[in-house]
Amino acid sequence: MAIEHSEITGLLSTLKCRTNFTVKKMTEYMLPELKEPFYLYGADKDCLLVIRPAYEVFLAELSALDGVKHKAGFVHHSEMTRFPKRVQKSLNGIHYGLGFKFTDAAALTRFITRLIAINQGH
């Protein structure tokens, strides 16, 4: 069973991730004390945490965390403005990233903790 949007937002706040804005079911967050953006996309039970595509080199490691499930392919959304663009259907390209779902709060905590460690070079 997937963790719900309201539980994710509460937990991200507890983990000191800060929000910048919310537009069209898309909320931009920053990792605590780092200038590393990620996005929470969706509502209710159907939501994804989306990270930069540069983390693809860590995909196997992040997906191996207990309770973490990678969504196959990339997540595309015009509001993920801090992420790179790739040409998909439009000539201008669209912002994209790697999407993840979590079974429970502990899985999300493990994921954020590992993401912070990766950013700090650990």
> Residue 106: which domain range?
5-119
Closest CA to 23 of 8, 40, 46, 7: 40
The CA angle 116-39-78, to the nearest 5 degrees, is: 140
**CATH number of the domain enclosing 89:** 3.90.1150.40
Bridge partners for 97 per DSSP = 75
Residue 16's pLDDT is 96
Residue 90 has pLDDT above 80, yes or no: no
pLDDT digits (tens, 9 = 90+) for 29-79: 999 989 999 999 998 778 999 999 999 999 999 999 999 999 999 999 999
Q: Is residue 50 classed as helix, strand or coil in its secondary structure? A: strand
Q: pTM (2 decimals)? A: 0.94
The total number of structural domains that make up the chain: 1
